[in-house]
Amino acid sequence: MTDQVDTSSPPKKRDRTHWLYIAVIIAVVGGVALGILAPDVGKSVGVLGTMFVSLIKMMIVPVIFCTIVLGIGKVRAAATVGKVGGLAFVYFLAMSTVALAIGLVVGNLLSPGTGLNIESTSNKGTQLAETAHEAGGLMDFIQGIIPTSLLSSLTEGSVLQALFVALLVGFALQSMGAAGEGILRGIEAVQKLVFKVLAMILWLAPIGAFGAIANVVGQTGWSAVTQLLTLMLGFYITCLLFVFGVLGVLLRAVAGVSIFKLVRYLAREYLLIFATSSSESALPRLIAKMEHLGIEKTTVGVVVPTGYSFNLDGTAIYLTMASLFVADAMGKPLAIGEQISLLVFMIVASKGAAGVSGAGLATLAGGLQSHRPDLLDGVGLIVGIDRFMSEARAVTNFSGNAVATMLVGSWTKTIDGEQVERVLSGKDPFNELTMVDDHDSRAEEPAQAKLPAPA
């Protein structure tokens, strides 16, 4: 009997990740129910949400390091990276200014804090301002970018330090030419390992979401949400207008892409952000998805990590609307001149917000103390609803960085328009199982005949 070669293709692995996101939704509903029915128990399980976000943050530095080193190391023209970084920085500054201005306009139109009594929240603002001052000034911020050693940047959890060292290593490998190819292949293998570990951690998302939601509902209840509904709704609507209006128009004009298609492509990341109230939880997936979308690794590796520290559109809107809210709630509204000077301060302050624990609240308190110290105690009321506003803040930051990556890719011609069309139309779906695009590596492997079937 002659041997036969099995030419049939191996069965495709089924994508079971959709069950994960269904489980997240169920967990969020369960967490809300627990927080209402048993507030004390809800508060006690809040540590589950903290632990899950800590697991995600644990993976951010290695993901950023591998992505940037590979992106820069594989490019033979250093000027390309410089052009991408320069355009990204100018864009980040411009969009932050626009976001702050929109926040001021909407805040003045709504005046949501008028008539509120927040005397019971005294002293909390002072504590938050102290937290902001502990972060240091501009020179301390710049000094903090330089790590104590090359390896400490990968162990201390600082995104900016990891970004700085990854840039140095990437350019060094780039200058080594063929001699650095072996190192690049090794880092590429490490990147696949990192994404695999991340995929395993994401299966714990329902547990983290359950704990986080149960904790915040147990702490505030529905009364606090109802009292400040105008501010929250105004903030959410402003964020929607910014994403689908400002960012949507820019994306259509520059890249010719619909913001609605991009949002649908990133739907699972939005759900993950809503569950954890942290855009950092979706950072590794954003990097992987932007590369799959057809944007070169260099552009993604520079724009996305830098944007997470400097392109905080949602935080900018939050800072201005919250400042106006506190002033109105205390019966001491800000004059137009004070609002403009506060806007200028927030443009600078929001750039370092990502490096401060409780970034939004701490920066808000620091800004008010520098301009109107008499309003500082009013920040205490924001604390009760900050978690409910942080979802929109995080989603807006995330959307701004996704759009920025596509815009910079279009300006620098480092984006494949045909691949964008294939992906957004559903013809080339993202690999949820590995989050790594292996098309190129598979194409380089020689075809191998399969083992003969038994006679």
Distances (CA, A) of 246 to 102, 105, 266, 276, 404: 10, 15, 18, 26, 12
DSSP for residue 415? B
Say if residues 242 and 99 touch (Cβ distance below 8 Å): yes
Q: For 214-232, b where at least 16 C-beta lie within 10 A, e where not — what string?
A: bbbbbbbeeeeeeebeebb
Mean pLDDT on 166-185:
84
> Could you give the percent of the chain with pLDDT greater than 90?
10
Helix (H, G, I), strand (E, B) or coil at 425: coil
Which ranges constitute the DSSP H helices of 177-329? 181-201, 205-227, 229-241, 248-255, 259-265, 267-276, 283-292, 297-310, 313-329
359 compared with 52, residue with greater pLDDT: 52
Contact 351, 97 (CB under 8 A): no
The length of the chain is: 455
Distance from C-alpha of 217 to C-alpha of 88, rounded to nearest angstrom: 38
Is residue 11 scored above 60 in pLDDT?
no
Identity of residue 154:
L
Return phi, psi of residue 196, to 5°: -65, -45
**The residue to which tokens 């002293």 are assigned:** 123
Token code pair at residue 448: 């191998």
Nearest to 57 by CA among 152, 165, 198, 170: 198
Q: What number of H helices and E strands is found in the chain?
A: 21, 0
Per-residue confidence (pLDDT) for residue 240, from 0 to 100: 92
Q: What is the pLDDT of residues 286-306, one digit of tens each?
A: 888 998 999 988 888 888 887
Please give the structure tokens belonging to residue 155. Answer: 């162990």
| DSSP element (H, E) containing 370 | helix 359-371
Count CB neighbours of 350 within 10 A.
28
Whole-number percent of the chain with pLDDT over 70: 70
Q: How does residue 355 score in pLDDT terms, banded at 50, 70 and 90?
A: very low
Q: Where are the domains of the chain?
A: 17-434
**Which of 39-53, 69-83, 352-366, 441-455 is predicted most confidently?**
39-53
Compute the chain's Rg from CA coordinates.
24
Both structure tokens of 241: 């207008």
- Alpha carbons within 13 angstroms on the beta-carbon side of residue 394 total 23
Where do runs of H (alpha helix) occur along 412-445?
A: 417-424, 439-444
DSSP code at position 228: T
pTM: 0.65
Confidence (pLDDT) at 131: 52
- Asked if 184 contacts 441 with a C-beta cutoff of 8 angstroms, the reply is no
Mean pLDDT of the 106-122 span: 62
User: Rounded to the nearest 5 degrees, what angle is found at the Cα of 57, between the Cα atoms of 56 and 62?
Assistant: 100
Q: Angle at the Cα of 433 (from 432 to 439), degrees rounded to 5? A: 85
205: number of Cβ within 10 Å: 22
Model confidence band, residue 452 (pLDDT cutoffs 50, 70, 90)? very low
List CB contacts of 363: < 8 A, sequence separation 6 or more.
132, 315, 319, 346, 349, 350, 352, 353, 356
Both tokens assigned to 7: 């030419």
Structure-token pair, residue 251 = 């994306």
117 vs 6: CA distance, rounded Å: 76
* Predicted confidence (pLDDT) at residue 348 exceeds the cutoff of 80: no
DSSP state string for 141-163:
HHHTTS-SSTTGGGTS--HHHHH
**pLDDT tens digits for range 406-424:** 999 999 888 888 899 999 9
The CATH number of 17-434, from 3.30.360.10, 2.60.40.1180, 1.10.3860.10, 2.60.40.10, is 1.10.3860.10
pLDDT 10s digits, 241-274: 999 999 999 999 998 999 999 999 998 888 888 7
- Sign of the alpha-carbon dihedral angle for 344, 345, 348, 352: negative
